[in-house]
Amino acid sequence: MNAIITEGLTKRYKDKTAVDSLNLSIDEGELFALLGVNGAGKTTTIRMLTCLSTPSAGHAKVFGHDVMAEPDEVKRLVGISTQDTAVAENLTVYENLKFMAGVYMSEEKGKEAEKSISDRIENIIKMFNLDEVRNKKAKTLSGGWKRKLSIAMALIGEPKILFLDEPTLGLDVLARRELWKIIEDLKSKVTIILTTHYMEEAEALADRIAVMISGKIVEIGTMDELEERTGKKGLEEVFVEIAGRN
């Protein structure tokens, strides 16, 4: 099944077209990377797909639900880790996770629900190795820990699609590598749309890569396909070649 389909998806600001007629189709279970420099329109695309921004034209469907007509359904299916880390600063790691779990699971009540919430939190803590900081306030965490928490919070509602907007932006090499590993482990469990301007990140993680320039997707395909089409080796060379043509 298609996790995401867009047709002519466009976002215009006053004097600027941030996203220009995007036609995309992303399969369930895929890890899809949107690659582009700053200002290419990656965040705007993600915002439209998560009901955080209304498209100016075109359509987008998330597991068959239109982002404009059925926002409530879409919101239940997506988890987003925004470009800037978004956590409640004075809450501990555990409290942040519990808070988000409450937001998603507030309809479920009783002992069983409580058990399943706490099981979920424990699983996520294990997956992200958050145990040693579980009782630390978010504001005391380093950038890497905070980012991990922010992503963990996006997963606690068990979304079918996880949006990661520049997940490793501003992290040091070790924190980045650790996050890559976590993302690889997540691959089998959830459809992931990831944006990045790091070539090596897209190359290391993505099943398919879309190269975005000035709001348009100018190339899309697997790494092999992109190399074949451009006749270059390695994503950096491929990207330079594509950017040069556009």
Partner 1 sequence: MNRTLVFAKRNIIEMSRDMLSYIFCIAFPIVMLLIMTLVNESIPAESGMTIFRIDNLAGGVVIFGQTFVMLFTALSVSKDRSGSFLIRLFATPMKSGNFTNGYILPMVAIAVVQSLITFVVAFIISLVVSYDLSPAGLIAAMIAIIPSAIMFTAIGLIFGTLFNQNAAPGLCSIIISLGSFLGAIWFDAESTGGVLLKICRCLPFIYCTKAARAAISLDFSMDAFVIPELIVLGTATILTVIAIAVFRTRMKADLS
Ligand X SMILES: Nc1ncnc2c1ncn2[C@@H]1O[C@H](COP(=O)(O)OP(=O)(O)O)[C@@H](O)[C@H]1O
Which residues form the interface with ligand X (CB under 6 A)? Answer: 13, 16, 18, 36, 38-44
| CB 159, min distance to partner 1, A | 10
Measured from the CB atom, the residue of 143 and 234 that comes closer to partner 1 is 143
| CB 21, min distance to partner 1, A | 20
By a kind-dependent CB cut-off of 5 to 8 A, residue 13 interacts, out of partner 1, ligand X, Mg ion, none, with ligand X
> Are 65 and 73 a contacting pair, CB within 8 Å?
yes
Q: How many other C-beta atoms are found inside a 10 Å radius of the C-beta of residue 15?
A: 5
Per-residue buried b or exposed e for 78-93, using 16+ beta carbons within 10 Å of the residue's own CB: bbbbbbebebeeebbb
| CB 92, min distance to partner 1, A | 9
| Site membership for Mg ion, residue 43 (CB under 5 A) | yes
Cα 201 from Cα 209, distance rounded (Å): 11
Measured from the CB atom, the residue of 43 and 191 that comes closer to Mg ion is 43
| CB 150, min distance to ligand X, A | 17
| Site membership for Mg ion, residue 150 (CB under 5 A) | no
Paired strand residues for 62 = 4, 65
Residue with tokens 């993600």: 46
